[in-house]
Amino acid sequence: MTQDIEPPRPQVVLNTFDTQSQTPAQKWKPSSADMQHYYERLLPFRYIFQWLSHSPKATKDFTMREFAYEHRSGAYQRYNSYESQEDFKKSVVSANPTRFEVGAVYTVNPKERRNLPKNALKPISKELVFDIDLTDYDDIRTCCQGTDICMKCWKFIRVGSKIIESALKEDFGFKHLVWVFSGRRGAHCWISDARARNLDEGTRKAIVEYMDVLSSMQGKFKKLKKPYHPHVERSFNFLKEEFIDIVLQDQEPWLTSASTPSDAKAWTQIDELLSFIPEKSLQSELRNKWKDQKSLSTSKSKWEDINDVAKRVLKSQLQVTLLNEAKKDIIIYYMYPRLDVEVSRQVIHLLKSPFCIHPGTGNVCVPFDPTRNISNNPEDDDYGFNPTTSPNLKQIQDELESWERSKSKDSDEPQDESKRLADYDKTSLKPYVDHFAKFVNDLIKDELRAKREREDDSLDF
Amino acid sequence: MFRQVKRKTAGRRNFEDVSSSSSGDKKGGADLISQLNNIYQSRLTFYDIPPLEEITLEEFENWSIDRLKLLIEIESYGARSKSIKDIEVALRPLLLKYLPMNGNSSDGKINPTLYQERKKDHYSHFILRLVFCRSEELRKKFIKNEGILFRIRYNLLTPKEQEDFLMSNSHRLHWKFISQEEKLANFDQLYNASNLIIKNHLLQEGIGSEITNEQVKQHIKFKENFIKLPFEKVTNLINSRSIFLKGGYAYIPTSLQLNLIVTEFQDNLNTILLRTFQTLPRLEEDDRILPLLNNLGLNFSNIQYDTNNFGSDDTNDINAQSIQTPEILQHYPLCARILQKQLSFNSHLKYGGRQQLGLFLKGIGLNVDEALKFWSQQFLKKINQEKFNKEYKYNIRHNYGLEGARINYKPWDCATILAKAKPSKDEYHGCPYRDLSVNNLISNLNELGIEDQHQINEIMDDVDKRDYSIACTRVFELTHQKELKASSGAVAESMHINHPNLYFDRSRQLERSMEKKKEISV
């Protein structure tokens, strides 16, 4: 099996890869033929089609939907639309883009916009989407920078998705949401409830701002309103459990030693930390203590220092209360998800479709479950979705090949069973397709039920 | 409604016909009459159904004038930037005088007096829609002031009436009250999310100057009613995280409900006014209603400075030279005087001052060429023409709608001036009654010729009460005593100054009528 001799792919793929500094030979990038093969045989068009059509059949939600291609040449082609699942697949295969993106449903068929007056093309609906990207965590990440990720910093995404998901479900009452790995260093959340699809931009903006707790912390006082709003309180409860693990141990943002230069990132981060401390005397006391430290001083010890020094410095109960509140704010400041507001606000914003291949890494943009590991790899069961071992095009091509090789070896087996098996089911893509299929099925069931109810209602008249 | 009056003169009475022509409703007239009886059930209404009964021309005129007086008062209080609470207190006696609205008698019946009260309210509202639908500016004023009136009246309702009112309008409000159980089950979240707005509301209600968190909790537990409604309805409360959300519903404390209803009322009114405006041409058929409506419209614009008339031909003596002469300067209100003084003194004004004075001058009739001349003359003592052209010309032309978005900017009224940031060091825009130190203000008043200690004390009292435009009006009256006496009756006597250009115009108007009198007597 090729899996056994799997190259150390994740490490290679996930190393520095930004468009300026990369040396192309360094890593595997899917070729045009790889993509062609993937579109023809592996990409589960059926589920993407049903997901966007909200039905097993083609509806206006699908036929009036904009798709955009990013071509190998770098050209970006907007306003494609398709009549059916077959047309969808045929067009993508023949265009063979490096990736395709999903846009809004319009009043008219986007493909035909040239034959129509300019203002006829109006966006009507689109999934509500959220985008978290690890590059936005660069100021607090110490493990990686830029486009790199590792299992340490992915934990930020993990806890972030938990926060966003619980707010969307519990506060806004959405049910049908799916998380998709963006292929390199982030995740997208698609919310497909009819109510979410029909939100206007003002409401989308309000929802993102509701979620965007960090921007309420900007400004002079760097404080969140107390008592915390229920959403903030719930988020804090998620975060406090992981703070020691993710920030104090994994990231070590405040790690210093006597040789750490005073302009190092760690000191900037320490100043950042101190700026939260409400009492000026405590601030300077802590700063002096840490500056004078000769040995290695970890983030964990600094975090504990705050309480130790406070016991000496703070006089009143009120000061203690304020400090405790500030410490809660610090935890939120360091770990709360950083959101891309524009992606969520604009109805016409395009976003890479699930199951696309990230052109730079070859990773499949697989839908995943942020709460549990679905990869069938028991090593990740404690971790959850692991982006460093998630399916990669090269890997699944090899898997498909070896599956076929093993089939042809014992070709005396009955053929019809293998015929029925979809190609992606022969690879490690299977659990992710199943996860997505279940999501799509639940969505369609709900849509059909709502449609039936509407029809019943109209019959009453 | 107007057709109806016309028909009456033609001697034709046909309810069927009237109802279908005035509302486009296919239902019979009798149906609508019964609906009317229904809407008169409550003393507060969204004015959904147009009036259908006939009224006399006299009623038409008197009712609308009474309502207009009320709206004028509201506008005037609003311009003096009073809080809603203050307006409410001040307005209560006027409401009783012009548009009394008593609650239903204890048996719930609508007796003829009540019916008449509500009818007057109903008709006058619809008549004024015709008056105020004609321009964006009038519509805005009408919507704002009717909104305040609506809010005040809602507060006058008994809790039972409020609940009934909400119930009968539930179809448009999409909300439901939550049960005590649901409230207590979510008590902590409700408190954590909304304690601040509830607290602020209680403070505004004047329950005390200090409210402890414990008091807020007690209030939520025992007094506060919450409603829940789809979150899409209250996006402006979601983004600030000041309400509790659960399962797609937003939980709104009663103190915010009123805002929602008023917003709904105003949104609704806005759509309807636009629609009324579109059908207005049909009204031109009637030669008796139209002058009446025009007259009513004029009455209202009397209380506001009509910014559309600036630059008219009787102001052609305004140019870059004349506005530096005492003949013109004497008509300036104190704010403009101070700006001019500082401009001459420093040969410069900062942005806020340039805007305020520049637009004021535009308002008194200074055209763009003269404005460029004036400003460059003033600035040239400090900077050369090239620098002026580079740094200031664009801005002046912009104010005249010749650059950028090409908006024809209007002179600032007092409310705008008071809403802007206060002047900091070396800035001279704003309202002198608010922004000058006491000593500085008094010396400025002395320069205007107000030296009587008693008079100065009165002005200072207004200032202390933050009634800046009243102080300004008082100064106007004191500095124009002679003219006002001479022209008594010719100009509406105690008109409230809520716009610097109104001060200027009235001052010139008085001067002219004096001159005319002189000519006649000579």
Find the CATH number of the domain harbouring A379: 3.90.920.10
Residues A47 and A157 in one domain: yes
pLDDT greater than 50 at residue A7: no
Mean pLDDT of all residues in B138-143: 87
- Where is average pLDDT lowest: A171-175, A257-261, B391-395, B458-462? A257-261
A174–B245: do the CB atoms touch at under 8 Å?
A: no
pLDDT greater than 50 at residue A169: yes
Cβ-Cβ contacts under 8 Å between A and B: the total is: 57
Which of B503 and B315 is assigned the larger pLDDT?
B503
- Is residue A459 in some structural domain? no
pLDDT greater than 70 at residue A2: no
**Residue A30: domain span:** 5-210+339-454
pLDDT greater than 70 at residue B3: no
Pick the last residue of a domain from A304, A335, A366: A335
Active site annotation includes A209: no
B236 close to A (CB below 8 A): yes
Per-residue pLDDT tens digits for A312-369: 988 899 999 999 999 999 999 999 999 988 899 999 999 999 999 999 999 999 999 9
A229–B195: do the CB atoms touch at under 8 Å?
A: no
B199 close to A (CB below 8 A): no
A231 close to B (CB below 8 A): yes
Mean pLDDT of all residues in B382-409: 87
A315, burial (CB in 10 Å: exposed 0-12, middle 13-18, buried 19+): exposed
Per-residue pLDDT tens digits for B404-426: 777 778 889 887 888 788 888 88
Residues A256 and A385 in one domain: no
Chain Cα centroid distance, residue B454:
32
Instruction: Measure CB to CB from residue A230 to each of B192, B232, B248 and give the nearest one.
Output: B192
A170–B247: do the CB atoms touch at under 8 Å?
A: yes
Instruction: Please give the residue of chain B at the shortest CA–CA distance from A229.
Output: B193
Pick the last residue of a domain from A335, A370, A405: A335
Residues A178 and A118 in one domain: yes
Rg (chain B; Cα; Å)? 27
A173–B248: do the CB atoms touch at under 8 Å?
A: yes
User: In chain A, what percentage of residues exceed pLDDT 90?
Assistant: 67
Which of A204 and B87 is assigned the larger pLDDT?
A204
Residue B319 pLDDT grade (very low, low, confident, very high; cuts 50, 70, 90):
confident
**CB neighbours (10 Å) of residue B443?**
11
Chain Cα centroid distance, residue A351:
12
Among the listed residues A78, A130, A84, the one whose alpha carbon sits nearest the alpha carbon of residue A100: A78
DSSP SS3 for A79? strand
Tokens representing A459 are: 């019959």
B229 close to A (CB below 8 A): no
Residues A110 and A40 in one domain: yes
A6 close to B (CB below 8 A): no
Chain Cα centroid distance, residue B350:
29
Q: Which residues contact B240 (CB under 8 A, 6 or more apart)?
A: A209
Distance (Å) from the alpha carbon of A67 to chain B's nearest alpha carbon: 28
Active site annotation includes A66: yes
Q: What is the pLDDT of residue B308?
A: 47
> Which residue in A70, A101, A127, A131 is the catalytic one?
A131
Taking the C-alpha atoms of residue B102 and residue B156, their distance in angstroms, rounded to an integer, is 10
Mean pLDDT of all residues in A405-419: 65
Instruction: Please give the residue of chain B at the shortest CA–CA distance from A232.
Output: B241
Mean pLDDT of all residues in A283-299: 91
Q: What is the pLDDT of residue B424?
A: 83
Choose, out of A204, A207, A332, the residue to mutate when testing the contact with B (most B CBs < 10 Å). Answer: A207
> Which residue in A133, A212, A329, A340 is the catalytic one?
A133
Choose, out of A231, A237, A344, the residue to mutate when testing the contact with B (most B CBs < 10 Å). Answer: A231
Q: List the beta bridge partners of residue B226.
A: B253
Mean pLDDT of all residues in B309-318: 57
Q: What is the pLDDT of chain A when averaged over all its residues?
A: 88
Mean pLDDT of all residues in B82-102: 81
Q: List the beta bridge partners of residue A177.
A: A191
Taking the C-alpha atoms of residue A46 and residue A32, their distance in angstroms, rounded to an integer, is 22
DSSP SS3 for A295? coil
**CB neighbours (10 Å) of residue A108?**
15
ipTM of the prediction: 0.86
- Is residue A302 in some structural domain? yes
Q: Between residues 176 and 195 of chain B, which touch chain A (CB distance below 8 Å)? A: 188-189, 191-193, 195
B248–A207: do the CB atoms touch at under 8 Å?
A: no
Q: Give yes or no for a cis peptide into A227 (omega within 30° of 0).
A: yes
Q: What is the pLDDT of residue A23?
A: 38
Which of B363 and A441 is assigned the larger pLDDT?
A441
A170 close to B (CB below 8 A): yes
- Is residue A224 in some structural domain? yes
Distance (Å) from the alpha carbon of B244 to chain A's nearest alpha carbon: 7
Q: Are A279 and A319 in contact (CB under 8 A)?
A: yes
pLDDT greater than 50 at residue B8: no
Q: Which residues contact B65 (CB under 8 A, 6 or more apart)?
A: B296, B299
Q: Which residues of A touch B195 (CB under 8 A)?
A: 227
Residues A262 and A374 in one domain: no
Choose, out of A128, A163, A210, A328, the residue to mutate when testing the contact with B (most B CBs < 10 Å). Answer: A210
B192–A229: do the CB atoms touch at under 8 Å?
A: yes
Pick the last residue of a domain from A283, A310, A335: A335
A231–B249: do the CB atoms touch at under 8 Å?
A: no
- Is residue A236 in some structural domain? yes
A219 close to B (CB below 8 A): no
Taking the C-alpha atoms of residue A269 and residue A288, their distance in angstroms, rounded to an integer, is 15
Nearest 10 degrees: Cα torsion A175, B173, B50, B88 = -150
Residue A15 pLDDT grade (very low, low, confident, very high; cuts 50, 70, 90):
very low
Mean pLDDT of all residues in B160-184: 83
- Is residue A460 in some structural domain? no
Q: Which residues of A touch B250 (CB under 8 A)?
A: none
- Where is average pLDDT lowest: A62-71, B287-296, B412-421? B287-296
> Which residue in A66, A165, A250, A340 is the catalytic one?
A66
Number of domains in chain A: 2
pLDDT greater than 80 at residue A5: no
Q: Are A217 and A334 in contact (CB under 8 A)?
A: no
- Is residue A286 in some structural domain? yes
Residues A115 and A156 in one domain: yes
Residue B321 pLDDT grade (very low, low, confident, very high; cuts 50, 70, 90):
confident
Q: Are B441 and B463 in contact (CB under 8 A)?
A: yes
Q: What is the pLDDT of chain B when averaged over all its residues?
A: 81
Residues A222 and A181 in one domain: no
Per-residue pLDDT tens digits for B181-232: 999 999 999 999 999 888 888 877 666 677 888 988 998 888 888 988 889 8
Residues A156 and A295 in one domain: no
Residue A442 pLDDT grade (very low, low, confident, very high; cuts 50, 70, 90):
very high
Taking the C-alpha atoms of residue B145 and residue B71, their distance in angstroms, rounded to an integer, is 6
Q: What is the pLDDT of residue B300?
A: 60
The Cα angle at residue A68 between residues A67 and A70, in degrees rounded to 5: 150
Q: List the beta bridge partners of residue A132.
A: A187, A339
Q: What is the pLDDT of residue B306?
A: 47
Taking the C-alpha atoms of residue B125 and residue B50, their distance in angstroms, rounded to an integer, is 10
Residue B16 pLDDT grade (very low, low, confident, very high; cuts 50, 70, 90):
very low
Q: Where are the beta strands (DSSP E) in B395-454?
A: none
Taking the C-alpha atoms of residue B87 and residue B82, their distance in angstroms, rounded to an integer, is 6
Choose, out of A229, A235, A325, A332, the residue to mutate when testing the contact with B (most B CBs < 10 Å). Answer: A229
Instruction: Measure CB to CB from residue B238 to each of A174, A206, A228 and give the nearest one.
Output: A206
Which of B521 and A421 is assigned the larger pLDDT?
A421
DSSP SS3 for B519? helix
A173–B192: do the CB atoms touch at under 8 Å?
A: no
Instruction: Please give the residue of chain A at the shortest CA–CA distance from B244.
Output: A230
Instruction: Please give the residue of chain B at the shortest CA–CA distance from A201.
Output: B235
Residues A37 and A138 in one domain: yes
Taking the C-alpha atoms of residue A338 and residue A320, their distance in angstroms, rounded to an integer, is 29
Residues A324 and A347 in one domain: no
Residue A459 pLDDT grade (very low, low, confident, very high; cuts 50, 70, 90):
low
Q: Between residues 51 and 110 of chain B, which touch chain A (CB distance below 8 Å)? A: none
A227–B192: do the CB atoms touch at under 8 Å?
A: yes
Backbone angles phi, psi at A7, to 5 degrees: -70, 165
Q: What is the pLDDT of residue A115?
A: 86
Taking the C-alpha atoms of residue A103 and residue A161, their distance in angstroms, rounded to an integer, is 22
B193–A229: do the CB atoms touch at under 8 Å?
A: yes
Half-sphere exposure of B69 (CA within 13 A, CB side): 14
A210–B239: do the CB atoms touch at under 8 Å?
A: yes
Active site annotation includes A133: yes
Residue B495 pLDDT grade (very low, low, confident, very high; cuts 50, 70, 90):
low
Residues A129 and A238 in one domain: no
pLDDT greater than 50 at residue B255: yes
- Is residue A169 in some structural domain? yes
Q: Which residues of B touch A216 (CB under 8 A)?
A: 241
- Is residue A461 in some structural domain? no
Instruction: Measure CB to CB from residue A231 to each of B188, B239, B241 and give the nearest one.
Output: B241
Q: Which residues of A touch B191 (CB under 8 A)?
A: 227
Residues A220 and A204 in one domain: no
Q: Are A181 and A187 in contact (CB under 8 A)?
A: yes
Mean pLDDT of all residues in A110-119: 85
A233–B236: do the CB atoms touch at under 8 Å?
A: no
Q: What is the pLDDT of residue B69?
A: 84
Tokens representing B152 are: 């005040």
Mean pLDDT of all residues in A110-127: 88
